[in-house]
Structure 1
Amino acid sequence: MKFAGLLPSLALSASVVTARRSLQHVGTVMDRLGQPLGGPAVSRSMREPPVKRDNSTHHFLTDKTKKYVVDGTAIPDVDFDVGESYAGLMPLGNSTKDEFYFWFFPSTNAAADGEILIWLNGGPGCSSLEGLLQENGPFTWQYGTYKPIQNPYSWTRLTNVVYIEQPIGTGFSQGTPTAKDEEDLADQFMLFWKNFVDTFGMTGYKVYITGESYAGMYVPYIANGMLDTKDTTYFNVSGIMVYDPSIAYDFLQGSVTAVPFIDSNAGLFPLNTDNLATYHALDTECGYADFRKKYLSFPPPGALPGPDDLPGQGNVTCTSLYDKIYDAINEKNPCFDIYQVATTCPVLWDVLGFPGSFEYLPEGATIYFNRSDVQAAINAPRENWSSCSNINVFPDGDSSAPSATTVLGSVVDRTKNVIVGHGSLDMVLIANGTLLAIQNMTWGGLQGFQEAPSAKFYVPHHKDYSDSTLAAEGVMGITHSERGLTWVTIDLSGHMVPQYQPSASFRHLEVLLGRVSSLTSVEPFTVNVGTV
């Protein structure tokens, strides 16, 4: 499936220092109009040398793994020991050319024994190091902040986590892209994964696969491929979780759901009344309102029409409704962030160069993973790194159909443990579009949810011991579970849920791993998030 048509008519201007962010994170490649990002590293002073942890407790340190060891006290700008970790390039099967880059963080949580979690960012072609550094890794460096800090909501506090740059052509990974579809991608991933399992002695481990955005394609297809092998020695898939995922045809998460999205966030879309009247008229005239009324229902009335038979198709006035709204809000809010629509000016500095909808790096700064000292510290090749690939990781496009129309239902049936989460402030992929895709999906012998989501998703009360890691608690969205599939919306979250609502995503993971019974539970976190 190609997402190049998601925002086909956006024509965006740029200044010398900024450019509209590439929507490659969800599969839409837009030209990057800014100058190359570079420059010397920003100088940082450490308050004191990090205290090194006792490496005698490094459970995965062996003759096979020692070449991948990362010194947790020597990661540039990080003034604490991140603990045991391993990183580097590992081949796909017996290949001498194709390699994925990974960074693996073992957990000190005793409950993590015998399990491993995979995190994948989307794109296609965006680096999972984004997720590590700004979402759920053991240290985090958020937009506009001075330096990296310890992350009390790191997923490594619950289980063993590996961040993998894939497919070929992504991040530091090596080789020439050849994948034609998601089946090819899954086959390549499994070649890597067998090597990873053998190297780190993880045969028989429970495998949890997670990710966001275009990983809504990656994760279900990889899980399906693993399950098809019936080989639990290497591929013991025990659950998956995807955030704001690309599981549907573009149409469902664009114009067809755009008007109710801006209505529900009216305070963030203070558009003039004439424009709003036009958008609502088009929503009705193009058949979108009737479409939602019919198909966003519980239980659903039947299968959705095929992509060529959906309302508004072939009518540019209709299909460009989403773009009209986008253009209008950018006039009102020139710093509008399609990934988190509550964002306003100024544009914040980001060590990865992408603070929201903009490519932006202040003069004198450099992208963190492009620094030679960082690359040396994490066993990465000395080469130019970008958060999203400048080449096509699917040379001829991804020919696979959306995962909700193919493999996702089967993964639910075979694991009985799938969570789909969606941030309420994400406009690049809109929550109701994802829910429409779920209502068109069959699993457990029935199509869609039979009851409308209405239960309260609860994040436990907790103490925040630092202003730099404040996170929400209480009722934080709506959730619903049927036949092994759980849906959850996350209030005040943008596209990258672990970044915008880390305490919520921590609870999601506790449920995925079976440490907590459900997302409606009010029981405390299973670890003390107030201490790291």
Structure 2
Amino acid sequence: MKWCTLASALLSAASLIEARRSWQHVGKKSPILPRTPEVFTDHHLASRQSSKPKFANSNTSSYAVNGTGIPDVDFDVGESYSGLLSITKDLNAAEKLFFWFFPSTNKAAEKEIVIWLNGGPGCSSLEGLIQENGPFIWQYGTYKPVPNPWSWHHLTNIVYIEQPVGTGFATGNATITNEEELAAQFLGFWRNFMDLFALQGYKVYITGESYAGMYCPYIASAMLDAKDETYFNVSGMLIYDPSIGEDVIQDSAVVVPFADYNANMMPFNNSFSASIHEQHQSCGFANYSATYLQYPPPGPQPPSSTRFTDEKCNDLFNAVFEAQFSLNPCFDIYQVATTCPLLYDVLGFPGSITYQPDGTQPYFNRTDAIHAPMEVTWSSCADKPVFAGEDGDTSEPSSFRKIPQVVDATQNVIIGHGLLDMVLIANGTLLTIQNMTWGGQLGFQSVPRDPFYVPYHSLSLAADINAADADPTALATMAAAGVLGTTHTERGLTYVTIDLSGHMVPQYAPSAAFRQLEVLLGRVDSLSSVQAFTAEPDYPQVDAKSLGNGTGPSMVDMSAGQGANGGKNGSPPTNAATTTKAALPVSVWVVAGLSAVALFHL
């Protein structure tokens, strides 16, 4: 969760690999849902935008980006603006954040804007733009960038911001030591941004992933404290696979059940498996989860610093990672189903390993088309600390006070988790939620079990991908549909798991993230709704009565590997009304190498 350094050695006869992404981070036709003439891309492709620019004027002209002049992008991405803005009233100050703003042509997007932040700390939000939810995407292993029908700018106005100072193209000296100081700098930037584009009074939705689980709540809290809806009209927050709790609770305490659930992808031998299970028991992790991962929770959890002090116990996560990295040298803790070969990534990090083939460089170092400072060498994650001081970020976890404040004020917070993520594991997040007080109560009172439904659409696998007239762009942006996880809402907080998704949910499950944004913006009333996507309102959907419970890992006893009511892993509880123990996936920070390496959450 916080900036930390871990040292672990992975000896190999061939070489030592520094593990970082940003640690620094047979098709079938549907019997009822055939391809329709009006495909999803007809509604969304950025290359088909032709509306008049919304924000072009003398003040913004120097920030305007030529939508046809972005390197390697052979289509028009539409209206956008990018550049540097000061974090203070002095617009000439050295400390500036870099942004890329994409206005929406969606008529429902008037007077609202979404902020997107990647994590780290120190990882660039341009990662989210180019590989998650931006107007053009260039996923690793793919030939070239393509228009993104799942871009969030198809729903609303969105701005990607590289922050804090020291991240990406952001300039100046890193001076902050905690999240309050980070938020104060961000609010200074935000006032300048709102003034530049005359966005005063707009609803503000704050979104992000990973270490942005710290950024987003602290920024939202500071905006709420400002009591100024002209600039800071916070209306909701969405955070994916977030750093929100104590480190050991989000990694070592829950890593063994995660490995058990994913045993087919993490096939440890009997002796190693017995060893980590013994540690899971003797370190008290099994009992901790059995005691506190209940609905409703029995009471507040003791601080992990007083409960888990053994270094070997705290290092259990690293031991599991190292063993898995030996079995699968291309192992990606951001998406544990990944195997060799390594795929080329234009950002240089196709998973857990730095991989930059000769003759290549990170994409954003190849262009001056976005008004980036030419003297700055862009990297996916900062090489230097973005928090000053030896201790890095000294802030308390955001779950202690900041997330509850945002939930209570907006009644509109979503926490999402990809279930194939091992960097931050879902069970750790659930334990953290069950230790969080909002709306006058501690944790969720009922077991998460509702289905998370993603509408069927013309880019789902229900489409005829073998059709002679199949649209290559559509094939490049296919995404899932149906019940893809479990969701639950209480007192303004929604929790949702996403099946088959890794750490970066909009990247691995773009249709799921698109739906979640629709709910955040109030376009759809819940994540269990069978309402069609607003882009394809007439596309046929299933009957709500047919959905059943949510999918993915069931509410499972973490220590014994048995269902809450005696069932096997994967079976639903027999009586959801009873107090139930839960176990979903876990969190991880780990490196391979001889020296200490600073680790990041994207």
CA distance in 1, matches of 2:432, 2:215: 17
The structure with the largest helix share of the pair is 1
1:282 aligns with 2:279: yes
Of 456, 465, 478 in structure 1, the residue corresponding to residue 451 of structure 2 is: 456
Contact 1:462–1:529 at 8 Å: present in 2 too? no
CA distance in 1, matches of 2:215, 2:96: 17
1:194 aligns with 2:191: yes
Contact 2:22–2:349 at 8 Å: present in 1 too? no
Report the Cα offset of residue 278 of structure 1.
Answer: 1.3
Contact 1:58–1:84 at 8 Å: present in 2 too? yes
Aligned position for 1:10: 8
Contact 2:480–2:511 at 8 Å: present in 1 too? yes
Aligned to 2:495, the other structure's residue is in SS state strand
- What are the Cα deviations for residues 334-363 of structure 1, in whole angstroms up to 9, with x where unaligned? 000011100000000000001100110112
CA distance in 1, matches of 2:311, 2:16: 33
Identity, in percent, stands at: 58
CA distance in 2, matches of 1:52, 1:434: 40
Aligned position for 1:503: 511
CA distance in 1, matches of 2:509, 2:115: 20
Aligned position for 2:338: 343
1:352 aligns with 2:347: yes
Aligned to 1:238, the other structure's residue is in SS state strand
After TM superposition, the structure 1 = structure 2 runs for residues 449-528 of structure 1, keeping only pairs within 5 Å, are 449-464=444-459, 465=471, 466-528=474-536
- What are the Cα deviations for residues 28-50 of structure 1, in whole angstroms up to 9, with x where unaligned? xxxxxxxxxxxxxxxxxxxxxx9
Aligned position for 2:417: 422
Residues 316, 92 of structure 1: alpha-carbon distance in 2 compared, 3 angstrom cutoff: closer
Of 73, 80, 85 in structure 1, the residue corresponding to residue 75 of structure 2 is: 80
CA distance in 1, matches of 2:452, 2:430: 17
Residue type matched to 1:380 in 2? A
CA distance in 2, matches of 1:325, 1:529: 46
CA distance in 2, matches of 1:51, 1:300: 50
Aligned position for 2:20: 21
Aligned to 1:377, the other structure's residue is in SS state coil
Query: Which structure 2 segments of 5+ residues have no match?
Result: 26-45, 460-470, 540-602
CA distance in 2, matches of 1:148, 1:17: 32
CA distance in 1, matches of 2:115, 2:138: 21
Aligned position for 1:381: 373
CA distance in 1, matches of 2:364, 2:20: 18
Contact 2:10–2:16 at 8 Å: present in 1 too? no
Contact 2:47–2:77 at 8 Å: present in 1 too? no
Aligned position for 2:320: 325
Residues 108, 278 of structure 1: alpha-carbon distance in 2 compared, 3 angstrom cutoff: same
Residue type matched to 1:349 in 2? Y
Residue type matched to 1:452 in 2? V
Aligned to 2:253, the other structure's residue is in SS state helix
Aligned position for 2:248: 251
Of 157, 162, 167 in structure 2, the residue corresponding to residue 165 of structure 1 is: 162
After TM superposition, the structure 1 = structure 2 runs for residues 41-60 of structure 1, keeping only pairs within 5 Å, are 54=50, 57-60=52-55
Report the Cα offset of residue 17 of structure 1.
Answer: 10
Residues 188, 462 of structure 1: alpha-carbon distance in 2 compared, 3 angstrom cutoff: same
- What are the Cα deviations for residues 249-278 of structure 1, in whole angstroms up to 9, with x where unaligned? 101111110111011111111110111111
CA distance in 1, matches of 2:237, 2:491: 14
- What are the Cα deviations for residues 17-64 of structure 1, in whole angstroms up to 9, with x where unaligned? 9632155367xxxxxxxxxxxxxxxxxxxxxxx979656x10111111
Structure 1 stretches of 4+ with a deviation exceeding 3 A read 12-19, 22-26, 50-55, 528-531
Taking CA–CA contacts closer than 8 Å with sequence separation of 6 or more, which of the two structures ends up with the larger relative contact order? 2
TM-score normalised by the chain length of structure 2: 0.81
Residues 439, 235 of structure 1: alpha-carbon distance in 2 compared, 3 angstrom cutoff: same
Aligned to 2:447, the other structure's residue is in SS state coil
Aligned position for 1:268: 265
- What are the Cα deviations for residues 476-528 of structure 1, in whole angstroms up to 9, with x where unaligned? 00000000000000001111000000000000000000000000011110114
Query: Which structure 1 segments of 5+ residues have no match?
Result: 27-49
Residues 104, 17 of structure 1: alpha-carbon distance in 2 compared, 3 angstrom cutoff: farther
Residue type matched to 2:23 in 1? Q
Contact 1:329–1:336 at 8 Å: present in 2 too? yes
Of 394, 398, 401 in structure 1, the residue corresponding to residue 387 of structure 2 is: 394
Contact 1:300–1:447 at 8 Å: present in 2 too? yes
1:292 aligns with 2:283: no
The number of residues matched between the two structures is 500
TM-score normalised by the chain length of structure 1: 0.91
1:221 aligns with 2:218: yes
Residue type matched to 2:199 in 1? M
Aligned position for 1:410: 405
CA distance in 1, matches of 2:140, 2:488: 32
CA distance in 2, matches of 1:381, 1:210: 26
Report the Cα offset of residue 391 of structure 1.
Answer: 1.1
Contact 1:337–1:343 at 8 Å: present in 2 too? yes
Residue type matched to 1:21 in 2? R
User: Which region of structure 1 is more displaced relative to structure 2, 194-203 or 361-370?
Assistant: 361-370
Aligned position for 1:92: 87
CA distance in 2, matches of 1:134, 1:529: 27
Residue type matched to 1:284 in 2? Q
